Amino acid sequence: MNVPTMSEMMAQGKQPEVLFWVGCAGSFDDRAKKITKAFVKILNKAQVSFAVLGTEESCTGDPAKRAGNEFLFQMQAMTNIEVLNAYEIKKIVTACPHCFNTLKNEYPKLGGNYEVLHHTELIKSLIDEGKLTIEGGKYKGEKITFHDPCYLGRANDVYEAPRELIKKLEVELVEMKRCKSNGLCCGAGGAQMFKEPEKGTMDINVMRTNDAIKVQPTIIATGCPFCNTMMTDGVKATNKEDSIKVLDIAELIANTDDL
């Protein structure tokens, strides 16, 4: 696996085409690290010129902002923007919709202007441009449903890129009753990931998993490390671990191509 950092690139006098923003979950969470690696494999295979910030990356500030701590958010944002601008970054790709939303929508007013892509959008354009081909076959016969991450879907109206990738896998794509702009949240957003839910009668991730179970998929696909955790826990809570897997789109693509 080839993962150049910006500082290494700079030392060699090179400028990558795109910066891969790994995000906190993608860097530290054991499950999400697998998604990060799957995506890097795809980038390597398609010979994309990219780099990561490595130890120079820091939380975008999204959970702090959604928890109401605008100070901490803006401190994080301005520190990150300083680093990004110093490296003259023009284009960023990330596998986390929360980072995606924050970088894309909330950094510009603070001086950080970049073209920001979700990894499913980049993978799709790699395929469209012929830089990446999907062998297919591996998931033939599987029934896949896609859970829309709120910060990709409703928040930024990206609904089709992930679906088009799934369709390329020669599988059956089944939609949950509530999907796309009507999709139900997994329960993690707005900093809920980092706290116990408020008092209620049920957990949101279980309710969402039940939505998925109703269409009898063999795989629940997501495009967000937090949704992934929530849906994985939901599948466990409903004792469906043996029949339903939860995978990121990047993993599906990387696995199909045996990367």
Q: Which of residues 83-122 bind other proteins (CB under 8 A)?
A: 101, 104-106, 109-110
> For the window 34-63, what string marks contact with other proteins as x by the rule CB under 8 A?
--xx--------------x-xx-xxx-x-x
- The residue (of 153 and 217) whose beta carbon lies closer to other proteins is 153
Contact 187, 159 (CB under 8 A): no
Of 36 and 145, which CB lies nearer to other proteins in the complex structure?
Answer: 36
Which alpha helices (DSSP H) does 154-193 contain, by range?
A: 160-167
Q: Give the span between the Cα atoms of 181 and 148, in whole angstroms.
A: 8
Task: Return the percent helix, strand and coil in the chain, to nearest 5.
Answer: 45, 10, 40
- Residue 213 in contact with other proteins, rule: CB under 8 A: no
CB of 257 to other proteins, least distance (A): 20
> What are 30's two structure tokens?
């054991």
Does position 215 interact with other proteins (CB under 8 A)? The reply is no
What's the CA gap between 141 and 152, in Å, rounded? 27
Report the residue from 130, 177, 194, 239 that binds other proteins according to the rule CB under 8 A: 194
Q: Give kind and range of the element (H or E) at residue 99.
A: helix 97-101
**Residue 160 within binding range of other proteins, rule CB under 8 A:** no
Nearer to other proteins, 28 or 135 (CB): 28
Residue with tokens 């969470």: 29
Asked if 184 is part of the footprint of other proteins (rule: CB under 8 A), the reply reads yes
